């Protein structure tokens, strides 16, 4: 490609912070739950770069024609590939798009077509823009966006912290997970955390139903946690992890009295039956990459221990993103850990997010 900025290129990243910054030199944008993508266009050639520098082009063939139609002849644009399901972000459907089989890729490109949300521009024609301040890059991106039409979109942006705070609350209802704050005078720094992200963080009390050993074999790597529904059935919510080395070793002794020898006594024992996995995912459920046979690579516990965990969001009945252990809750009964304690955002459509005015 004959561009002033060429692939592969790692995108600029954001550092997690607590709360919306008070400083006045920031532009705020919705934070998307998709695949980061830098689009390189040189005439008829388009290359979709990813965060790990591996091309995404073959997985999203339906985006090539719209990007040809909407973008300048020669440019580099940073953004996010998303999939919407019923006007809501569908991250599960997006994950299914990364598949080795061409026939599956083609079928899913029709069943769950992707969209592209642009939020930065790194080059136009022969001019590299990565050393220009974001305020100027945004102005150029807005000029380019006059040619955008679905499924290519311009991300909403605002300099008003009050508007950003409203977005932070409302847009979660469409499946978004927070805000990105960009210094207006900041240059584009590939692979550097030179921007800021504010994500939703909450806590919940969960049942500790099992654990997996750390990959190095020394101590506990993750706790398998669950919540009860209205009928007191325990559902797998995901794992709590990111333990320090000394705590991983301590957890082996802490959990030892609660290990059960007979897996048939565990509420998730039914999920060792491959035919049961049609109803959802539980520990041992086979993935689309496996041979189809579940495996018990975890140690079951008696489901009497309760832990407080920090989480960001719930997607399709499971914790989304990293869930972190906070503390043990010996004052709580496991049967009291129910879905009802989780916060639920007011539903809204992605179309409303994309049309928001900043």
Strand order of the β-sheet with 13-16 is 13-16, 193-199, 178-183, 26-30
The tokens describing 187, both together, are 């240059």
Q: Cα separation of 62 and 94, whole Å?
A: 13
Q: Catalytic positions, please?
A: 31
Question: b/e for 183-193, b at 16 or more Cβ within 10 A?
Answer: beebebebeee
Q: Cα separation of 36 and 215, whole Å?
A: 28
DSSP structural state of residue 321:
S
Angle at CA 318, nearest 5°, toward 12 and 275? 125
Residue written as tokens 């900041």? 186
Rounding to the nearest 10 degrees, give the CA dihedral for residues 237, 314, 120, 134.
-100
DSSP structural state of residue 172:
G
| Cα dist from 225 to 212, 229, 327, whole Å | 11, 14, 13
Cβ atoms of 25 and 195 closer than 8 Å: no
- Which residues have a Cβ under 8 Å from the Cβ of 209 and sit 6 or more positions away? 224, 225, 226, 234, 236, 266, 267, 268, 283, 300, 301, 303
Q: Give me the DSSP letters along 274-310.
A: GGGGGG---TTPPPTTS-S-----SEEEEEEEEEEEE
The tokens describing 247, both together, are 């705590």
Cβ atoms of 125 and 72 closer than 8 Å: yes
């Amino acid at each position: 490609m004959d561009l002033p900025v060429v692939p592969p290129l790692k995108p600029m990243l954001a550092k997690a912070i607590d709360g919306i910054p008070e400083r006045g030199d920031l532009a705020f944008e919705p934070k998307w739950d998709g695949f980061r993508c830098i689009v390189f266009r040189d005439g008829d050639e388009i290359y979709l770069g990813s965060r790990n520098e591996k091309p995404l082009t073959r997985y999203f063939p339906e985006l090539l024609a719209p990007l040809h139609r909407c973008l300048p002849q020669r440019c580099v644009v940073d953004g996010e590939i998303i999939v919407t399901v019923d006007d809501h972000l569908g991250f599960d459907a997006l994950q299914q798009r990364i598949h080795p089989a061409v026939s599956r890729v083609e079928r899913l490109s029709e069943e769950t077509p992707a969209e592209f949300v642009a939020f930065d521009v790194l080059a136009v024609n022969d001019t590299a823009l990565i050393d220009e301040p974001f305020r100027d890059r945004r102005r150029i991106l807005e000029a380019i966006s006059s040619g955008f039409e679905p499924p290519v979109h311009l991300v909403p942006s605002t300099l008003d912290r009050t508007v950003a705070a409203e977005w932070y609350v409302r847009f979660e209802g469409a499946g978004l997970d927070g805000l990105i704050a960009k210094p207006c005078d900041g240059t584009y720094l590939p692979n550097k955390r030179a921007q800021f992200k504010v994500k939703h963080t909450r806590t919940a009390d969960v049942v500790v139903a099992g654990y997996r050993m750390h990959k190095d074999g020394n101590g506990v790597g993750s706790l398998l946690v669950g919540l009860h529904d209205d009928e007191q059935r325990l559902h797998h919510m995901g794992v709590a992890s990111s333990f320090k080395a000394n705590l991983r070793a301590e957890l082996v002794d802490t959990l030892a009295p609660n290990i059960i020898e007979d897996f048939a006594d565990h509420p998730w024992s039914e999920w060792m039956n491959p035919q049961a996995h049609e109803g959802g995912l539980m520990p041992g459920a086979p993935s689309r990459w496996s041979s189809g046979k579940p495996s018990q690579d975890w140690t079951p516990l008696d489901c009497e221990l309760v832990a407080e965990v920090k989480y960001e969001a719930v997607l399709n009945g499971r914790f989304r993103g990293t869930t972190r252990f906070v503390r043990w809750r010996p004052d709580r009964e496991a049967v009291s850990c129910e879905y009802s304690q989780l916060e639920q955002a007011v539903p809204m459509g992605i179309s409303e997010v994309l049309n928001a005015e900043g």
